[in-house]
Each structure stands twice: as C-alpha cells, then as structure tokens.
Amino acid sequence: MSETGEEFDLLAIETLKSRYLQEGEKDWEDVCKRVAKAIALNRGEYTEFLDIILSKAFIPSSPTLMNAGTPSGQLSACFVIPVEDGIEKIFDSVKTAALIQKTGGGTGFNFSKIRPDGSVTVSGVGTASGPVALMRLFNEATEIVKHFGKRRGANMGILDISHNDIISFIRAKRTEGVLSNFNISVMLTDSFMSLADEGRMDEVWNTETGTKIGEIFSEIVEGIWRNGEPGVLFYDHINRDNFTPALGDISATNPCGEEPLLPFESCNLGSINLSILVEEGKVNRDSLREAVRKAVRFLDNEIDVNVYPVPEIEKATKKTRKIGLGVMGFHDMLLKLGLPYDSEEALRLAEKLMGQINRAAIRESEKLAAEKGPFPEYENSIWEFPVRNATLTAIAPTGTISILAGCSAGIEPVFSWVYRRARIAGKEFMLVHPLFETHFKQKLSKPDYNRLLEHVYAHGTLQDITDSKIVSEEEKGLFRSALDINWKTHIDIQAAFQRHCHAGISKTINMPVDAGKEDIGKALIYAWKQGLKGLTIYRTGSRQHVVLNLKKR
C-alpha cells in the first residue's frame, strides 16, 4: 500500500471546492471571511467570528458555510415540517420541504396524522394510501430537488408506535435503495418500552389491529439487523426536555435525529473542535469556554440574519430561538490525551466536557438575554431565569465539517485507522488517520508500516496482530476503532454526553457482522434505560452502499 496520509488534505480541499467555495473564492480563509462578515453585527464580532472559524476551533454547519453572504442566505441545517391529513396540506408540506432542501437544509416529518392504508379518506371519497405511500411522494420530490443544490437532500420519516400502519412502516426500507432519501425512525413511548423490558411480548399493544408488543419489537430488531433501519426515538425522554411545553409536544426531529423540534421550527448548528484544545497533554478549559462564548453569539446572530424559506418557519424559529452547539474531534482528543475510547476515564471526560460546554453556553445565553432580551416564549417556558435561546446544545454527526477541520467526526470513535471514503465530489478517497500515521510511522520501518496499513485496511482492526514489535498491548488499548468497542460502551458514551445536552445526539452504535438479533434487542432497552433520546444501530456489512468502507474483497 502506498503512503496515503496526505489524502486527508486532498479530501478537505476537494470538499471545500465541491461544496463551499463561491465564485471568486480561492481557499478556506475566503470562505471564513464571507461567513464572518455575513453573521457579525459589528467589527468586534467580525474579528472574533473570523478567528474562531479560520482556526477551525468552531465550524458552523454546511448551509451556513454555503449560503452566508450569498443571495440564498438560508443558514439553518435542521427543520421539522408538519404533515397534516388532506391532499392540499400534504402538497403544501412537499413544497415547503423542497424550498428548504434546495438551500441545503434537512427536513423531518412525523406522518402519524396520515390515515392508515385502506381507511376512508378525509373527504369521505375513496380510500387512503397510508403513510408509507405518502413517503414515496416526498422521496421523489427530494430526488428532483437534488439537482438544484450542492448538498444532497435528506429527510427523517417518523411514525408513532401506536399507528395502525407501524409494521409496514418498519418494513418500508427493508430492501436497500428504497426511500433512499429518507432515514426512518419509530417513535417509542415509555409505556411500550416498559412492557418490552418486562418481557410482556404477548400483550396486545394495538387493539384495532390486534398487534402484540413482541410482533412490533421483533420487527424493529429485524429491520435494524438487516440494514440498520429503522432508528428509534424515545418520545418521553425527548419531551422531558421540552423547554416550551406550552407550545405543544415534540414529535419529530431533523434527519439525523439530534434536533427534536416543534412544527415549523428550524435550528442552526455548529461544532467545537475538541481535538485542538489539547495542550501539553491537558484540555485547555479556558480555550473551551472562550470557544463556547463566541459560538453561542455566532449561532444566535444567525437567527436574525437568516433568510427563511417560508414565513411560518421564521415565526416559529424566532419564538424559541433554538440553537444547536455541539462538538467534533472527541476521539482525537482522547488519542492526544492517551485515553482509550472505551475507558472509564473517557466516560468521565465526556460528561465533564459536555457539562462545562452546556454551562458556558447557558451563561452566554443569559448575557445575551440581558443585552437583547430573552426568547419571546420565555415566560411560557420551564427556564427559571431569562435566556436568549430555549435550547442551546445538540451534537450533530459533522460529516463534512469534520473533514474540513481535519478531526474525527462528532463523538464517534474512528471507524477504522485505514479506510475508503466515497461520495465527495463523486470521488473515492483512501484515508489513513493522521494520529495513527504519525505514531506508527515514527516507530516502524517503512515495510512494517506498510504491512500494518494493509492489515488494518483489510480487517478494520489491529487487535489481532500478534507481533508485539509492531503493535504493543498498550497500543492495542489506545488504538481501538469503532468495531473494537462494545455496543454498551458506544451507548454509555452517548449517554454521558446526553446528560448535559439540551437536544439530542447523532451517533452510530456499531456492531460487528456476527452480532445477533438478541444483542440488538438488548441494546434498544439499555439505551432507553440510559436516557437516550434516540438510537441508530448499524451492523457492519448489512448494507452494500456505505460512505465509509474497508478493502473490497
């Protein structure tokens, strides 16, 4: 295998060119200047925003990088669009979604108000086709809109566990390639999960259809085992953190599940790069607090300078002024600190870091409320003191912005130290993780280093290498990648961050190819008990088309 560490820089350059550079722009600095100028309200803010983005200590989400300072001006990543029963209302939702996706935003829908397949339509004439058929309409609309923007359109389709069509919904993506523009998730309640946890699988859940707890639960497990879908969302956990309950319950999220929102709400996302906060073997917490301060002001400013796709979205968004500040580079931070991802120290650090980020974000939002006023629905919220933003923190997957930052994605463990990445500008890249490369290149001869790369590329792990001169036991402990880590640890890390996060978290719970359905069932119940708001499980090899992959065999 040839040396490929430089491919990371090439990947970042290609990502920048294909997605973010506007006419006349040459490099990252030009993008940062355009974005900072568009978001800042004065010269001081411009300097602060430019510094934090240019240094890659904080990077806003893709729609902001693409659209700030352009005629589009649409800056939000996350939207939830209500879907009401009735042909006119349905097509209104399709149109709104198309306007959002054209500008790079992602849309979430709960289809539970749509009548079940075969029931009488709202007009009383004919029969309803049901939520799954309707999702095909939304999927095709997204397919068309793809051709009008730089960013692939994405949807989240959600159905409540009590809907009569829940089984057909769970099976909707069982064939790979169907509804390719949708992630789908089942909205689960505490009452359903309690019955499943107690083993009461023969109990009837839906008296209209006669469907039992065990039938639904096993269908969810089967779908996840087959190809990673559906995901699950936990309704009661989400609504326990509904900071504005007077505006209604939350029943939908954005496409990756980290941002539960009310109908027509949008949210601006951005992520702090944890990997660059390690200095001399320690986390620079002063730099972390300063990054949070600037990021909160940046994201709050976006709400006012944003160009909204439709008036309903502007109205709903400005009522609550929700922002989603998250993190990326967590695994890289652990590597620099010499901490294995699956260690107790990593768990403690995760909770401590997110607690500090959340507190610092709240403090800055409190200052903004004193300067500019709290969010309009503050009096009807559960906040005990005035803040500018109803919610402040959410952890996104950071797919492309972590490429720009040169760090690991979100709070995910590194997928593999050597892998292929597809779907960037229609190209495929072979990547070696920079920290892995630096460590082993210094230690090993060139032939040994290349053999190590070949092994990891083929197997996705270095845990089975027996030659201690190539990889020591200590190195095996530190360089554990996604599939080396037990699913419980994946969930524990997500739960540690979730305990100090207002919204939700996008994270994949990786399982090996030989993981059984029993493991998946246990993981669903364990995640619910740990207080997660949602869960995505992926069993390696269960899909043919994936973004990250190992050597073709």
Catalytic residues: 254, 256, 258
The structure tokens listed for 73 are 């001006």
One-letter identity of residue 25: E
Residues 6+ positions from 102 with CB-CB distance below 8 Å: 145, 148, 149
CB 267, CB 504: distance < 8 Å: no
d(CA 481, CA 335) in angstroms, rounded, equals: 11
> Do the bridges between strand 58-60 and strand 266-273 make them parallel or antiparallel, or are there none, so unpaired?
antiparallel
d(CA 260, CA 187): 12
67: three-class secondary structure by DSSP: helix
Beta bridge partners of 393: 325
Cα separation, 102 vs 400, in Å, equals 18
Q: In Å, what is the CA distance from 218 to each residue of 168, 202, 283?
A: 13, 12, 44
SS3 143: helix
Number of H helices, E strands in the chain: 20, 19
* Cα angle value 473/477/481 (rounded, 5°): 130
What amino acid is encoded at 362 in this protein? I
Q: Output the six-digit token pair for 312.
A: 């309903």
Burial zone of 248 (CB within 10 Å; 0-12 exposed, 13-18 middle, 19+ buried) = exposed
Asked whether 141 and 97 are in contact (CB, 8 A), the reply is yes
Alpha-carbon torsion (457, 180, 79, 537), positive or negative:
negative
Please tell me the distance from the alpha carbon of residue 59 to that of residue 372, in angstroms, as a whole number: 24
Question: What DSSP string describes 275-309?
Answer: GGGEETTEE-HHHHHHHHHHHHHHHHHHHHH---S
